[in-house]
Structure 1
Amino acid sequence: MANRSSNGQLVLVVGPSGAGKDTLLTLAREQLARDDRFRFVRRVITRQAGGGEDSAFMAEEVFRQHVEEDAFALHWQAHGLFYGLPNDLDDWLAQGHVAVANGSRAVVPEARRKYPRLRIVNVTAPPEVLANRLRKRGREAGDAVSGRLMRGVEFEISGPDVEEIANAGPPDIAAECFVQALRRWAQN
């Protein structure tokens, strides 16, 4: 896969289900709304968006067609769904922006190959916090909650391009750490 990142930088936000990625992305988007260095990528998913989630729905057959047409910068499958980041992010990177996207730990190896200036924000929380959040959002039944928690244990993300942010307390605290990291990276 060709590197199309140019001078920009992709920040991929990953972590287990229930870690609060969407909450942190929403808070960061609000704080950085007037800073034109940042672009927040709207993820495409083959299900309707849940509360607090900035994503666009796409039917699975249309999604597959988009994959064949190379319409996604990155795409992956998880939890029986398909996810994609539109090619807009490559355009933003070519213009020198910091593109911030909700990603997946499963797509990190491909993202590292494609985007040499990649930064990864790994959002974490203790298992009991994750389980409580998953139950509260009500998107998954008991077995699905357990499956998401087990998947969270399977993926370890590490490396010099990874910034870990603990999000077990008030989200404003973790969001401030996230925004500080984004601003620091935008300077480089």
Structure 2
Amino acid sequence: MTKGRLIAIVGPSGVGKDSLMRALAAAEPHLRVAKRTITRPLDPDSEDFFSATEAEFRDQEAAGAFALSWGAHELRYGIATTDLDRVQTGTEVLANLSRTVLEEAQCVFGRLAVLSVSAAPEILAARLADRGRERPEEILKRLSRAEVRLPNSLAVTHLDNSGPLDQTVAAARAALYPSREALEIR
């Protein structure tokens, strides 16, 4: 069976990673979206995720529940081993990942596509303020991480999500499925 791949959606907070993932999954119904485990309370205005306390997360991690886990912004995040199983059996899985774990994701999942999403700084600041989860000093801290360098060893597609989401989705689909795009042009 053909191996699947992990499609990592990365970028700074407020750039629209979750919106892009939902729109990509709607446009490409074969894609599965990884539901992360995060050490924060559930929030109806946030992504769909499993909430865990720090202790629950550590226990799950020790039990091997995560194919990939990391810490950021005083939280812990995990991608389930079931998502690794999906990739290994031929499924393409979208995952909102930290830019700091991309090389590890490549080692764990094998096939990896990276979509690095950006937006103008003023758009990022407005989106973070609008979602209302962080205090102003936390927003500044998140904005200071907007320019994290990505590993040179990985092929990365850069997408600007400053404009309409449908344009970003079209660019992502063209990058993920270039042979399909070439067929449609003919």
TM-score by length of 1: 0.87
**Offset at 1:182?**
3.3
Question: Which residue of structure 1 aligns with residue 62 of structure 2?
Answer: 68
Q: Secondary structure at the match of 1:152?
A: coil
2-side partners of 1:83 and 1:96: how far apart?
24
Counterpart check, 1:87 vs 2:61: no
- Aligned partner letter, 1:77: G
Counterpart check, 1:129 vs 2:126: no
Q: Secondary structure at the match of 2:14?
A: coil
Question: Which residue of structure 2 aligns with residue 26 of structure 1?
Answer: 22
Mapping 1:32-51, distance limit 5 Å: 32-33=28-29, 35=30, 38-50=31-43, 51=45
Q: 1:180 to 1:151 in 2, by over 3 A?
A: same
Deviations 1:100-147 (A, max 9, x none): 111110111211222332111100111111111100111101000000
Mapping 1:73-152, distance limit 5 Å: 73-152=67-146
**Is this contact kept in 2: 1:22–1:54, CA < 8 A?**
no
1-side partners of 2:8 and 2:86: how far apart?
14
Q: 2:53 aligns with which of 59, 69, 74?
A: 59
**Offset at 1:18?**
0.8
Question: Which residue of structure 2 aligns with residue 3 of structure 1?
Answer: none
**Offset at 1:158?**
5.1
TM-score by length of 2: 0.88
**Offset at 1:55?**
1.5
**Offset at 1:47?**
1.0
1-side partners of 2:121 and 2:113: how far apart?
25
RMSD over aligned CA atoms reads 2.0
Q: 1:52 to 1:183 in 2, by over 3 A?
A: farther
Q: 1:185 to 1:83 in 2, by over 3 A?
A: farther
Deviations 1:20-44 (A, max 9, x none): 00110111122223x3xx2211111
Deviations 1:44-100 (A, max 9, x none): 111134424122211211111111111101110000000010011111112111111
